[in-house]
Chain A
């Protein structure tokens, strides 16, 4: 059985801020290193970690910027410590180069992006959902990441633990796409008994350090990870590398490596992707929403169902991998799809890509720095429905 540090948040019921729940979840997941640079609206995570990490035997560093932060996180993880950083849009943009680096070196790490209104420095204190596409496509080249979309304090807690688990399991960078509303909201949190919380640690080589280990062994989809500093011969390179980690321009080496970086997630997408459905069984109109926006969308479904309007909600809980097969199935059963998000059209592209050809897709663009109130979505749905 795993041992849990006595100073971790105890099982029980809490009324807690989303960002603080994120930090406490990371500690329970085993995170013992945080490097970050202050940015609103993610600051409570860093503030809380700076106080709490030393209490559980971890290390907190405030770095010179976001670029240094993510690279320090990757270094700590390469040395065997679960590590994270938290940021918001502008800092996330600065981290993009190292999103590719983490993917190439297959170093598990977690970035929490508490999304705010953009573009650029936008409105620091207000909400946005404009980083959905950047999370997947922000760095160059072919790679895969995992990204969660929490809708509540409970979910940002659960998903942060899961983000560490998935990062460790797949040797991949995992992103929690929280947002300002979820991060700053104070809500109900139930911490279950520790025995009920699944904690996954990376697979280590099953041979002693003096034996030869291939950290990028292509015969395995997810090769065991030798820890730097534990005596193994470890070479991490951002260049295309062979199974030992040495740079190579060989066409087979390149194709095998890049294929594996992508396949390890794509071949497991059905095990990784998550979503919630609400009244989709007999729905004729399908609302698609996520994060804080899904809270308003759910209220709209509840209200219109009382008027016997056949509406349902599809809420992706992972943006990446996107549950495209379920999107496709649902799109064949409904006549209209309404996509609501706090941007000018991002998940809209995924919905369009995977929906049946003959379904009508309506987008609710929204970018004032606030989450759309239920009435805003309701009016658009009524217009679409003709009621």
Chain B
């Protein structure tokens, strides 16, 4: 089993933190995981990208050129990275920030109103990355939300654990209701 997740967005959206939480959850679940990151040179307002590989066996080459799940929070990263999605891959996007301008019969798209869900559940728009993490968790089927919760508690800044965990479950429930 190998799962390749690409997360792209704006610096400040918490793209790398989302990747770290998912990777940590995978490690807690007993998988191997590797994340490589890239970002544009701007100090503020540039793009940011995290590539995460999760596998039940040892991962060798750390980079990916295609993704099974693509998560985007900006139109720019959607346009740039849509082609990296494999056949039968999943596209997850923040539905107030991204309007998919192209599609493919072989790609399943899920728009999540992550910002408004974050605002509704924890009154903090900033937690939208954790809403998306929850959405991926529901979709991936290989990561248990308990491990994601544990990963959030060990990764985020002290005092923000409950808020982030709640936001994650909001995204998890939202996608589960869509799927099942």
Contact = CB atoms under 8 A, between A and B. Distances in A.
A13 B23 CA distance: 11
B23 A185 contact: no
A13 B28 contact: yes
A185 B35 contact: yes
B36 A185 contact: yes
B6 interface: no
20 contacts: A14-B24, A14-B27, A15-B20, A15-B24, A15-B27, A15-B33, A181-B62, A184-B36, A185-B36, A186-B19, A186-B37, A187-B32, A187-B34, A188-B32, A188-B33, A292-B62, A295-B60, A296-B61, A299-B61, A373-B61
A384 to B, nearest CB: 20
A186 B36 contact: yes
A302 B2 CA distance: 15
A7 to B, nearest CB: 15
SS of B interface (majority): mixed
Interface residues of A, number: 18
Contacts of A298: 60
A187 B63 contact: no
A187 B20 CA distance: 10
Contacts of B19: 186
A184 B33 contact: no
A15 B23 contact: yes
B27 A184 contact: no
A295 B37 contact: no
A371 B62 CA distance: 10
A374 interface: yes
A303 B23 CA distance: 26
Given A13-B27, A13-B28, A296 B60 contact: yes
Contacts of A374: 60-61
Given A181-B62, A184-B36, A295-B62, 8 more contacts: A14-B27, A15-B26, A15-B151, A187-B33, A187-B34, A187-B59, A299-B61, A373-B61
Interface string B117-158: 000000000000000000000000000000000010000000
A183 to B, nearest CB: 11
Interface in A296-321: 296, 298-299, 302
Contacts of B24: 14-15
Q: Which 8 A-B pairs have the closest CB atoms?
A: A299-B60, A15-B24, A186-B35, A15-B23, A295-B60, A187-B34, A15-B27, A298-B60
A188 B61 contact: no
A188 B54 CA distance: 11
Contacts of B32: 187-188
Contacts of B20: 15, 186
Contact of A185 (B26, B34, B151): B34
A41 B59 CA distance: 23
Interface in B9-42: 19-20, 23-24, 26-28, 32-37
Interface secondary structure of A, over-half rule? mixed
Interface in B89-117: none
A296 B26 CA distance: 22
A296 to B, nearest CB: 5
Interface string A183-202: 01111100000000000000
A157 to B, nearest CB: 14
Interface in B69-86: none
Nearest to B63: A373
B59 to A, nearest CB: 8
B35 A187 contact: yes
Nearest to B41: A125
Contacts of B33: 15, 187-188
A292 B19 CA distance: 21
A184 B38 CA distance: 10
A371 B36 CA distance: 13
A343 B61 CA distance: 18
Contacts of A373: 61, 63
Interface string A1-33: 000000000000111000000000000000000
**Which of B27, B37, B151 is most buried by chain A, counting CB atoms within 10 A of its CB?**
B27
Given A13-B27, A14-B27, A15-B24, A186 B61 contact: no
A374 B64 CA distance: 12
Contacts of A185: 34-36, 62
A371 B61 CA distance: 9
Contacts of B151: 15
Contacts of B27: 13-15, 188
B53 to A, nearest CB: 10
B180 to A, nearest CB: 29
Given A186-B23, A188-B27, A15 B63 contact: no
Contacts of A295: 60-62
Nearest to B32: A188
B155 to A, nearest CB: 8
Interface in A161-205: 181, 184-188
Contacts of B36: 184-186
Nearest to A374: B61
Nearest to B35: A186
Contacts of B23: 15, 186
A102 to B, nearest CB: 33
